[in-house]
Structure 1
Amino acid sequence: MKVVFHPDFYQVYTSDPAAAKGRMEAVVKVIDPFAGFVTAEMADHNDVAAVHTEAHIDEVRRQRLYPVAMLAAGGAVQAAQIGLAEPCFALVRPPGHHASADASWGFCYFNNMAVAIASLKNRGRIDSAYVLDIDLHYGDGTVNILGDKSYVTVHNVDAMRRDAYLREVADAMDRCEADIIGISAGFDNHMEDWGGVLSTGDYFEIGKMAAGAARRNSGGCFAVLEGGYNHDVLGQNVLALIQGMAA
């Protein structure tokens, strides 16, 4: 499966857990035999400006995080474009789902998912989209940017028990009707991460359900890395999701 990545994501750009040394290395080491890597490119300014204010973009510049944040957003756009034809994963950081139109927090700067979805819509590539956010934390930034758009459904999975969680995802994918499904792929709900809910195999099932819904709709599917902070299990969890998406 194609995975959008760039060696610049190895850099430790801040002191937060999403930027921790070894995080990307832990994923690449595991998925390398199974991935066809595509080199990420920086986002077009207009794509980012379509969902963020110029004041916010300038603030990210002031923090000297603009280059890596633009690269992450660009990688998400590429994954979404590839995802129209075949499942694709954006192995990018900084994450994005806590970035709103004019502010951000939670290790996020630009909303990679929102930039990617809006770029497809603005280019006439899609009429409808579905965002499935499986991160432990509510994707408030994605809701802020896309929540009032009639062409997008944003679903933050909020079940706190494993069986209920998988049932919620299954029900959502059974009802989903969209030209593309974007997974905000946070892995911090793993039983050995902060949330303590899901097994590694559950991520395979989530990926399989999302890809199955995309095929049923004759649409696309892609995922963008969000959270996930236990380096000992993160790579296996990412691999499980992408193998499920490709199944």
Structure 2
Amino acid sequence: MKVIYSHSFYPVYTSDPAAVAGRIEAVMNALPAGTKLIEAEPATEAQIALAHTMEHIRFVRQEGLYDIAALAAGGAMQAARLGLEAPTFGAIRPPGHHASGDSCWGFCYFNNMAVALLTLKDEGLIETATILDFDLHYGDGNVNILDHRSWMSISNPAGRTRDRYLQEVETFIEANPADIIGISAGFDHHINDWGGLLLTQDYHTMGRMVINSARKNNAGCFAILEGGYNHKIIGLNAAALIEGLSS
């Protein structure tokens, strides 16, 4: 499995929980053996502008967060591009699924998933795309930027039990084949994180669902880090997803 990362994601860049010290290190330290690391490269302003207004881009610059947010968006784009050939994971931050076209909240600045998929679409590399967003929090930014596009399908599972949640994911994945499946991988729905629902093995199960669908439909797949705030288990959960995608 290829993993997009950068030591530039390690330093604290603001005061929110996604930016605290040690969070990315917890993911990187738990990566499965044989992982190939690839250095993230920043998205260009033109690529970011596929998803965001210039006013929003200026706002992020004024906040002093443009460089780290552009690096995360670029890392997501690399993960998506490489994901067309083999499953890829982006160990990136800031997260992005709460960033809409002209606004942001929830520890997000640029919508990493939207920049990645819109770039692939703009380059003619994909015709259709599916997003599985299993973060605890509804990915309103993904929906704002992408859901109205005829070539896009998005799921934010809402099952209140593990079995119902996983069944909802499986039903969605099977019903929405596409050229690429992107996972907004927030691990805060874990039993020992804010959501208190899923087990570590469930991330492996969802990864396996995605790769099975991708293989069946000759499609690509990739995942990028969103939420997840318990450093004791976020790495284990990310590793479980990666192993599921590699199964």
Q: TM-score range by the shorter chain?
A: over 0.9
1:14 lines up with 2:14 in the alignment: yes
Query: Percent same amino acid among aligned pairs?
Result: 54
What residue in structure 2 maps to residue 141 of structure 1?
A: 141
Gaps in structure 1 of 5+ consecutive residues: none
Q: Does the CA-based 8 Å contact 2:3-2:37 persist in structure 1?
A: yes
What residue in structure 1 maps to residue 122 of structure 2?
A: 122
Q: Distance in 1 between matches of 2:32 and 2:190?
A: 21
Q: Does the CA-based 8 Å contact 1:173-1:209 persist in structure 2?
A: yes
How far 1:46 sits from its partner (Å)? 1.1
2:233 counterpart SS class? helix
1:193 lines up with 2:186 in the alignment: no
**Pairs aligned (count):** 247
What residue in structure 2 maps to residue 97 of structure 1?
A: 97
Q: Distance in 1 between matches of 2:207 and 2:113?
A: 17
Residue range with higher mean Cα deviation, 100-109 or 209-218? 209-218
Q: Distance in 2 between matches of 1:207 and 1:22?
A: 25
1:68 lines up with 2:68 in the alignment: yes
Q: So what's the TM-score if we normalise by structure 2? A: 0.99
- String of CA shifts for 1:87-128, please: whole Å, max 9, x gaps: 000100000000000000000000000000101000000000
How far 1:47 sits from its partner (Å)? 1.0
Q: So what's the TM-score if we normalise by structure 1? A: 0.99
Q: Does the CA-based 8 Å contact 1:210-1:221 persist in structure 2?
A: yes
How far 1:245 sits from its partner (Å)? 0.4
What residue in structure 2 maps to residue 239 of structure 1?
A: 239
Q: Does the CA-based 8 Å contact 1:176-1:213 persist in structure 2?
A: no
Q: Distance in 1 between matches of 2:73 and 2:117?
A: 11
How far 1:173 sits from its partner (Å)? 1.4
How far 1:52 sits from its partner (Å)? 0.1
Gaps in structure 2 of 5+ consecutive residues: none
Residue range with higher mean Cα deviation, 169-178 or 127-136? 169-178
Q: Distance in 1 between matches of 2:60 and 2:191?
A: 33
Runs (4+) off by over 2 Å: none
Higher helix share: 1
What residue in structure 2 maps to residue 180 of structure 1?
A: 180
Q: Distance in 1 between matches of 2:28 and 2:199?
A: 20
1:27 lines up with 2:27 in the alignment: yes
Q: Distance in 1 between matches of 2:34 and 2:19?
A: 24
Paired residue type of 1:43: A
Q: Does the CA-based 8 Å contact 2:12-2:20 persist in structure 1?
A: yes
Pair 1:223–1:237, CA change in 2 (3 A): same
How far 1:32 sits from its partner (Å)? 5.9
How far 1:44 sits from its partner (Å)? 1.7
CA RMSD of aligned residues (A): 0.7
What residue in structure 1 maps to residue 163 of structure 2?
A: 163
2:116 counterpart SS class? helix
